[in-house]
Structure 1
Amino acid sequence: MTTELRVLRPSEWNEWFASLELAFGGVLGSPEERELWNSLTEHKRSLGVWDGSDVVATAGAFSFRLAVPGGALVPAAGVTMVSVAATHRRRGLLTSMMRRQLDDVRALGEPLAVLTASEPAIYGRFGYGAATRQMSLEIDTDRVRLTVPDGTDEVRLRYARPDEAAAACEGVYERLLTGRPGAPAHGPGWERKAVVDPASARQGASSLQCVLAERDGEVVGCTTFRVKPVWDKAGPKGRVTVDDVSALDPAAYAALWRFLFGIDLTSTVEARNRPVDDAVLHLVSDVRRCNIGLRDSLHVRLVEVGAALEARTYRAPADVVLEVEDAFCPWNAGRWRLTADASGAASCGRTDDPADLALSVRELATAYLGGTSVVSLARAGRVRELRAGAVEEASLAFSSAVEPWLPRGF
């Protein structure tokens, strides 16, 4: 087999994207979706493998900045559109693309790469670790009530066209961004992704709807959602499917959830992507009837260990030497001394001192955003303690007061 791995040319995008669609089952996106992804594709960061004139593998990256503990926005490659044709599996094409891509990310000076995985088992061998989780909710609003904080009745709610409200919703997102590790800062054009609404994707539900929360004329929150009418012999049992709920203060947040619970002719509110520490869990009367589910979400790869560890802050002082294993990016392998002071600021550099902890770069990535404790990884045998007390010291330092979360896919 003779194949060629190279950067995508803009004129080849349609064929390249069609190969991606075929690898994901052959269901074609709507013209609106294809136009959006074509406009967002960074061609110089997109790779393809050609077998003759056929595209048989794809991989791309978006230029993001990722919020990390402490509020810094760190340059990160948002890895996306990865596929290998079913006719060309197990020939090393994915490995060759991951190799080229991580080399390119390093050359660009980005200390992190991130992705969401259709099959999570694939990416661990390339050093990615599942660093955030997402919570799903399916709430029986006939039996679950909300207790809302003072000031909720003072929030004004109004419907708005999603496309016309996109800028206001983006403003809310940007104000919340640095307070949530795992949230990406996007470039121009990404606000469109939240409002592209092809009829083929609605599965019998309404078009996308939007409600804004306002106080003194200022937008302080927003929700986007769809309503699916359902009727049985007893009457209406409609379903509200929530895309997003965001607000700048507790009263506005509660007002939006109360609105979603109270939509006429519905009895279920479903939200598929919420943070594990979502405040709505403390507003509901019966959390058992919220049918909670958890799954992995953002996978993180430390491309430059020293720069990545210095970019975030830490919750407690620490001085630990990490023996890092990284076969795929060997420039990371070896001993690193991480020192964090009482302010949370850190330095991280090479050292010959004896190691306190031994772990692979995958475990380091899993703990990086503070959502998985070093203690739990050690209990699974994924981190080895070489100095007594080092696991607990590192676990406290790496922890985050806020659960990391990816609010938007890419």
Structure 2
Amino acid sequence: MTPRADIDVRPIAESEFADWQRALNIGFLREPTLSEEVLEARREQFTPGRSVGAFDDGRCVATFRSFAQELTVVGGATVPADAVTNVTVTATHRRRGLLTRMMAQDLAAAKERGDVVATLIAAEYPIYGRYGFGPATTATEWTVDVPRAGLDPRRAGPEDGGRVDLVGGEAVRKLGPELHERLRRAQPGAVSRDELWWRTATGAVRFHPTFQEPYYAVYRSAGGEVEGMAAYTADDHWGDAKQPSNTARVKWLTAVTPAAERALWLYLCSIDWVTRVRSGWRAPDDLLPHLLPDPRAAAVTTQADWLWVRMLDVVRALGARTYGAAGSLVLEVTDRAGLAGGRYRLEASADGTGVCAPTTGSADLALDVAELSVLWLGDESAVRLAALGRVREERAGAARQADALLRTSRRPWCPDVF
């Protein structure tokens, strides 16, 4: 076994990308070797200095990548984020501290750049809490049993004067970015998408050899404005007596008005031969079930943690969002990595704005940076975390006051996986 100190952890050179990508595929239990076409497509993700590998005798045995991202906070402001992805350690090199070394390098660089938070989507729950990350949003997937939904099979389309049309990938690349910008500016937990996201989502760049072109549905209001868009696929299953039993699977659905959301879900539930609709990952308080005459027809298939957040700058993070009430709260924040710990006073005004600054005043709540990261987007309850022993009240009633300040009327949601 190679000693830990002899394993080189560093940013990769572009010439090492193929070896790094092979290690990534092995870590994710995918076919190790990529075609030249797919490998060249994935090179578009390469950013010098932000793709890191661990090398044992010249062979890549662990991978880590981060990229620039913007995250929307409560109130609609955005903060710069360090988005972490492509994290693997080859099975032969587990338990040698390789992830810890890669994460420490990346978070230190993110702090130096001025990123306010780091983000990730966790494949496994137990890993990232020890690095200061906490699950700040939840995602839910529903499966709609269309025949049970109680919808009128004679329905032809939106009843508000709008319309739903099918378009191709080129139209999605033209119309989608502006629509997503409208959504993410209003949705806490949403993240930015670059041009490459739209090219891969529509097959213009193919990271996987088996890309299946989706159908794309666009909703336009009565005035002709694009207010919603959905991408979905469908299978081809038929049961006994030639009865259709097909499932439409939503890859993503973006709607910036309730009318658009209603029109797109009802369209998906009205497609001939489709008897089930899988919603894809949605906000846990999504409108979908209650758009149906019988909400029980939408059964929860999966509900799980989604976007994980790690604060790097408490002052800027708490100062960026808005608050539901006026009040003052002093937080004692512990950070084992030494990146964001300290004692901070949050002052929220009646107009919703907030100011945060270091203080020497007595603490009201004591918590780890991971728990503060969980509370920050407004989905979790400080009272609940206190009951779990993850937040400690230094002043009676402080957790309830924190909830009054931090919690939101609609739950935060991240539409993306990265």
Per the normalisation by structure 1, the TM-score is: 0.94
Contact 1:324–1:332 (CA<8 Å) still a contact in 2?
yes
Equivalent residue number for residue 318 of structure 1:
327
After superposition, where does 1:285-296 map in structure 2 within 5 Å? Answer: 285-292=293-300, 293-296=302-305
Change (3 A) 1:350 1:136: same
Compared CA separation, residues 137 and 233, structure 1 to 2 (3 A):
same
Q: Contact 1:152–1:254 at 8 Å: present in 2 too? A: no
Mapped partners of 1:354, 1:343: distance in 2: 26
Partner residue in 2 for 1:277: 285
Q: Which amino acid aligns with 1:27?
A: E
- Are 2:333 and 1:347 equivalent residues in the alignment? no
Q: How does 1:32-181 map to 2 (within 5 A)?
A: 34-146=39-151, 152-181=159-188
Amino acid of the residue matched to residue 389 of structure 1?
A: G
SS in structure 1 of the partner of residue 148 of structure 2: coil
Aligned identity (percent) is 37
CA distance in 2, matches of 1:198, 1:45: 19
What residue in structure 2 maps to residue 23 of structure 1?
27
Look up the match of 1:398: 406
For residue 310 of structure 2, what is the aligned residue in structure 1? 301
Match in the other structure for 1:213: 219
Aligned to 1:189: 196
Query: Is the Cα–Cα contact under 8 Å of residues 321 and 335 in structure 1 kept in the other structure?
Result: yes
CA distance in structure 2 between the aligned counterparts of 1:106 and 1:200, rounded to whole angstroms: 37
Distance in 1 of aligned mates of 2:38 and 2:306: 22
Counterpart code for 2:130: R
Q: Aligned partners of 2:378 and 2:151: how far apart in 1? A: 30
Partner of 2:370: 362
Deviates more, 1:72-81 or 1:301-310: 301-310
Cα offsets for 1:184-206 (capped at 9, x unmatched): 1133322223223788657xxx6
Distance 1:225 1:33, change over 3 A: farther
* Secondary structure of residue in 1 paired with 2:277: strand
d(CA) in 2 for partners of 1:6 and 1:233? Answer: 58
In structure 1, what is the Cα distance between the partners aligned to 2:140 and 2:97? 34
Q: 2:231 aligns with which of 224, 228, 238?
A: 224
Check conservation: 1:152, 1:252, Cα contact below 8 A.
no
CA contact (8 A) 1:65 1:75 kept: yes
The 3-state SS of whatever aligns with 1:213 is strand
> Distance in 1 between the 2:366 and 2:406 partners?
15
Distance in 2, Cα, partners of 1:146 & 1:194:
31
Cα distance in 2 for residues equivalent to 1:351 and 1:249: 42
Q: 1:266 deviation in Å?
A: 1.4
SS in 1 for 2:23: helix
Contact 1:152–1:251 (Cα < 8 Å) also in 2: no
Q: Distance in 1 between matches of 2:411 and 2:124?
A: 23
* CA distance in structure 2 between the partners assigned to 1:57 and 1:357 by the alignment: 38
SS class of match (1:142) = helix
Report the CA distance shift for 1:386/1:19 in structure 2 as closer, same or farther (over 3 A): same
Equivalent pair of 1:313/1:345 in contact (CA under 8 Å): yes
Identify the residue that residue 238 of structure 1 maps to in structure 2: 246
Distance 2:87 2:262 in 1: 38
Q: Give, as a single letter, the amino acid of the residue that structure 1 aligns with 2:369.
A: V
Gap runs ≥5 in structure 1 = none
Q: Is the 8 A contact 2:188 2:413 kept in 1?
A: yes
What is the aligned partner in structure 1 of residue 275 from structure 2? 267
User: Structure 1's 358 and 15: CA in aligned 2 closer, same or farther, altered over 3 A?
Assistant: same
Amino acid corresponding to residue 166 of structure 1 in structure 2: R
Q: Work out whether residues 42 and 207 of structure 2, in 8 Å CA contact, stay in contact via their aligned partners in 1.
A: no
Q: Is the 8 A contact 1:208 1:225 kept in 2?
A: yes
Q: Indicate the SS of the match to 2:304.
A: strand
Aligned length: 405
Q: Distance in 1 between matches of 2:189 and 2:102?
A: 24
Q: Using the alignment, how far apart are the partners of 1:83 and 1:331 within structure 2?
A: 24
CA contact 1:229–1:266 (8 Å) conserved in 2: no
Separation of aligned partners in 2, 1:362 and 1:352: 22
Deviates more, 1:97-106 or 1:4-13: 4-13
CA RMSD of aligned residues (A): 2.0
Q: Which deviates more from structure 2 when the two are superposed, residues 239-248 or residues 99-108?
A: 239-248
Q: Take 2:64 and 2:110, find their aligned partners in 1: how far apart are those partners?
A: 13
Secondary structure of the 1:184 match is coil
